Amino acid sequence: MKTLRGLRSWDVQSAVLFKDKNIVALNKPSGLSVHPGPRVKNHVLEYLETLKNEFSERPQLIHRLDKDTSGILLLSTHKKAARLFAQYFHDGFVKKIYWAIAVGRPELCQGRVIAPIQYLPTQKGYYRLSVVRHRKGQKMSVTDYQQLAFSSDCCLLELSPITGHKHQLRVHASQILRCPILGDSKYGSAPVTSRQTPLHLHAKQITVKSYYGMGRDLIVTAPLPNYFTNTIIREGLYN
């Protein structure tokens, strides 16, 4: 799938990975915002009208992805499904797996990151999410990780967020694992090559345990964007 960089439209129908009477799973491209905003020209919500005729209501977001993160985005097709999936997320019945290409390598090939994250002021006068020293009563952010492959410059990581803090994977990769995600200028990544590259963070798989529409686990997988696959090939990151 092409990214939205340089494009003004998105074919939602071709991005559908799974749909039934309760949910729709889309493969969101990098560069497309989920919500509207003051400087947002394209966002997911404006494209959902094309799906409205298939359901009694316009699909609504169940969760969100960062603008530059690609991959699976779930939407509910009615209010009952939205409430049910909110409960699924709350009870830990939804497992998300991301793939990331990171600059460098973590010290350990696999493990769990447990660290609190909060906004801190920067020297330029704005606020940035950062890992902070734990204080009593402060919520932890938790990420499981596994190194799938590596080269001299970078590695392919599988990341599973146990909690859902904003920018959690990007902050944990950069500040705890010391291998920032390729293309992540916000949290200190430098490109492997001299040219600019998009954020190499992809929501690859979502598993919904005991999904009520099927009576069994629902597993949805999103194919990698072309730029991500090209980096894997170029860097020899075969797992």
**How far, in Å, CA of 122 to CA of 174, rounded?**
16
* Most confident residue range from 27-41, 128-142, 151-165, 204-218: 151-165
The model's confidence at residue 31, banded by pLDDT at 50, 70 and 90, is confident
Averaged pLDDT, 5-19: 73
φ/ψ of 168, rounded to 5, equals -55, -50
Share of the chain above pLDDT 90, in %: 44
Averaged pLDDT, 158-173: 92
Q: What is the pLDDT of residue 213?
A: 59
Report pLDDT digits (tens) over 104-143: 999 999 999 998 887 666 655 555 677 766 565 567 889 9
The model carries a pTM of 0.87
Polymer length in residues for the chain: 239
- Alpha-carbon distances, residue 88 vs 82, 103, 131 (angstroms): 10, 34, 27
> Per CATH, the architecture of 12-232 is what?
2-Layer Sandwich (3.30)
Residue 189 pLDDT greater than 70, yes or no: no
Residues 6+ apart with CB under 8 A from 213: 20, 21, 22, 23
Tokens of 72: 């699976």
The model's confidence at residue 2, banded by pLDDT at 50, 70 and 90, is very low
Averaged pLDDT, 40-65: 78
Residue 9 pLDDT greater than 80, yes or no: no
**49-58, 142-151, 161-170: the lowest-pLDDT one:** 49-58
Q: What is the pLDDT of residue 8?
A: 54
Residue pair 50/12 in contact (Cβ under 8 Å)? The answer is yes
Look-up: residue for tokens 């009520």? 212
The model's confidence at residue 73, banded by pLDDT at 50, 70 and 90, is very high
The model's confidence at residue 4, banded by pLDDT at 50, 70 and 90, is very low
**17-26, 64-73, 194-203, 229-238: the lowest-pLDDT one:** 194-203
Could you confirm whether 66 is annotated as catalytic?
Answer: yes
Q: 30: which strand partners?
A: none
- Which of 66, 144, 153, 184 is catalytic? The answer is 66
The b-or-e profile of 37-57 (16+ CB within 10 A means b, else e) is eeeeebbbeebbeebeeebee
Average pLDDT, the chain: 84
Residue 212 pLDDT greater than 80, yes or no: no
**2-11, 42-51, 209-218: the lowest-pLDDT one:** 2-11
